[in-house]
């Protein structure tokens, strides 16, 4: 097929990396390839049990891998703060903000925020801000934030960020993924000494698609999602390539987004266009200010 693949990842010995949600799906494949190419990888996972299973799988594939497992629940800002406290000021070369939830029934975080906005955006906003001293301690720090093609249908509803006026799972997901793009671009503007890049996997087979229907008890929708993954989606390993490209290619553009080359649906990674609403400076500034208020984390 041609194009950039995991075989093109450079030697990463001496690089310190964190991948959130590294226990499965895109996060697992991202962590695996970073470790395979010599990086020190911390798997930041909500479930210690699933994180340990992922760590053991990576170690079986890469026996000399430099791996660590650390608890991180992005839906609990106390957990985010504790993760950052334990990291202290050790230099961090690459932070991959990968973890996420998709189209869940109405749930809230520990702080009472709508779960998708709280986990996908606010948790990573807080984590990045708290790890900023560690990032600045590295010679060429980089933050990769994983978004989705659903950002194209997203809108930031400042009058109802938490979905209290009427919750629709897919609209809430699209809002959170647009927020990821706005955050990426605003971070690039506000913190120019850190390369801030977005990535999205196209349609990749992960456990996210079936999780929402399963939580809602919708067995048929869960089966349809599972079948769609099997028939239509590219693999999780392919879906992770844009994240890896954004994390390691030297000349990526800060503020840009990288995704699959074929209609942003599948294939090897390239720079891709983003929705026009992701370029709205006023929206980005307002979202940043609201995020600081909601998390208590300022940059």
Active site residue 173: yes
User: What phi, psi does 74 have (nearest 5°)?
Assistant: -70, -15
Q: What is the C-alpha to C-alpha distance for residues 148 and 295, in angstroms, rounded to an integer?
A: 23
User: Which listed residue (28, 167, 173, 245) is catalytic?
Assistant: 173
Q: What is the C-alpha to C-alpha distance for residues 21 and 136, in angstroms, rounded to an integer?
A: 23
Residue 281: C-alpha distances to residues 18, 114, 185 (Å): 29, 24, 9
SS3 category, 20? strand
Q: Which residue has the tokens 């560690």?
A: 134
Among candidate residues 264, 111, 81, the one with its CA nearest the CA of residue 177: 264
Q: Report CA 217 to chain centroid distance, whole Å.
A: 26
Q: Which two tokens stand for residue 38?
A: 């010599």
User: What phi, psi does 204 have (nearest 5°)?
Assistant: -120, 145
Asked if 181 contacts 151 with a C-beta cutoff of 8 angstroms, the reply is yes
Catalytic site residues? 173
């Amino acid at each position: 097929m041609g194009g950039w693949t995991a075989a093109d990842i450079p030697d990463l010995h001496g690089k310190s990396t964190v991948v959130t949600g590294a226990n499965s799906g895109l996060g697992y494949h991202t962590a695996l390839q970073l470790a395979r190419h010599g990086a020190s990888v911390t798997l930041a996972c909500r479930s210690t049990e699933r994180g340990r299973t992922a760590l053991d799988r990576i170690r079986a594939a890469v026996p000399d891998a430099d791996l660590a497992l650390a608890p991180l629940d992005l839906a609990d800002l106390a957990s985010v703060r504790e993760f950052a406290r334990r990291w202290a000021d050790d230099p961090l070369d690459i932070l991959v903000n990968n973890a996420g939830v998709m189209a869940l029934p109405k749930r809230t975080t520990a702080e009472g925020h709508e779960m998708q906005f709280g986990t996908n955006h606010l948790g990573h906003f807080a984590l990045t801000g708290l790890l900023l001293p560690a990032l600045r301690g590295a010679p060429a720090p980089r933050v990769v934030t994983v978004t989705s093609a659903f950002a194209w249908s997203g809108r930031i509803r400042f009058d109802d960020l938490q979905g209290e006026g009427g919750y629709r799972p897919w609209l809430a997901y699209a809002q959170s993924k647009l927020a990821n793009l706005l955050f990426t671009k605003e971070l690039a503007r506000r913190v120019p000494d850190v390369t801030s890049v977005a990535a999205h996997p196209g349609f990749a087979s992960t456990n996210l698609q079936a999780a929402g229907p399963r939580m809602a008890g919708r067995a048929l929708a869960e089966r349809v999602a599972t079948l769609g993954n099997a028939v239509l989606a590219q693999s999780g390993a392919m879906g992770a390539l844009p994240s890896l490209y954004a994390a390691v290619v030297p000349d990526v553009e800060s503020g840009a987004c990288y995704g699959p080359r074929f209609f942003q649906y599948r294939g090897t990674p390239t720079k891709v266009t983003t929705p026009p609403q992701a370029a709205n400076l006023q929206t980005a500034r307002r979202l940043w200010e609201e995020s600081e208020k909601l998390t208590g984390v300022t940059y």
